[in-house]
Amino acid sequence: MDNLIIRHVSRMIIPFIQLYGIFIILHGHISPGGGFPGGAILGASLILYTLSFGVRKGHEKVPHSVSKKVESGAILAYLLIGMVGIWTGHAFLTNQASGFFMGDVGQIISGGFIPLITIALGLKVGSTMITLFHAMIGEEQES
């Protein structure tokens, strides 16, 4: 798919899509949104990059090794955040009682581990989408 118009338009709008995805992930505990939709938007922007610039440049932008590590690291981060509750003597995934920074209502850095879990989920969903897409489109090109 080598089209000049598609390449230029997607080069212009991909930064805004990614900014919107990061906004939704970071504001998951304040405004509507959260880890799953924000990660889906991030993954969709990377899929748009691969569709408009070709599979080779898409693999160069997000290599398979990096997306695999991000995805495994995100779920490990989720588990470690939950382990903090056990370490401080409470149940698994305890928020306020296990000493997370609560802050003020409405700030981005507030709400204990909720922003951390939202960021981990967003990275997980986005890297899952782009890894699956690259695996499938690579398989189609080989045959």
SS3 20: helix
| # binding residues, another protein (CB under 8 A) | 41
Q: Are 126 and 39 in contact (CB under 8 A)?
A: yes
**82: contact with another protein by CB under 8 A:** yes
x/- mask, another protein, residues 33-72, rule CB under 8 A, reads xxx-----------------------------------xx
Distance in angstroms between the alpha carbons of the first and the last residue of the chain: 17
CB nearer to another protein: pick between 40 and 51:
40
Interface with another protein (CB under 8 A), residue from 32, 65, 89, 143: 32
How far apart are alpha carbons 36 and 1 in whole angstroms?
29
Interface with another protein (CB under 8 A), residue from 49, 84, 121, 122: 121
**78: contact with another protein by CB under 8 A:** yes
CB nearer to another protein: pick between 7 and 77:
77
Query: What one-character DSSP code corresponds to residue 49?
Result: H
Interface with another protein (CB under 8 A), residue from 29, 45, 46, 58: 29
How far apart are alpha carbons 22 and 16 in whole angstroms?
10
Interface with another protein (CB under 8 A), residue from 9, 19, 80, 136: 136
How far apart are alpha carbons 34 and 40 in whole angstroms?
10
Q: Are 82 and 71 in contact (CB under 8 A)?
A: no
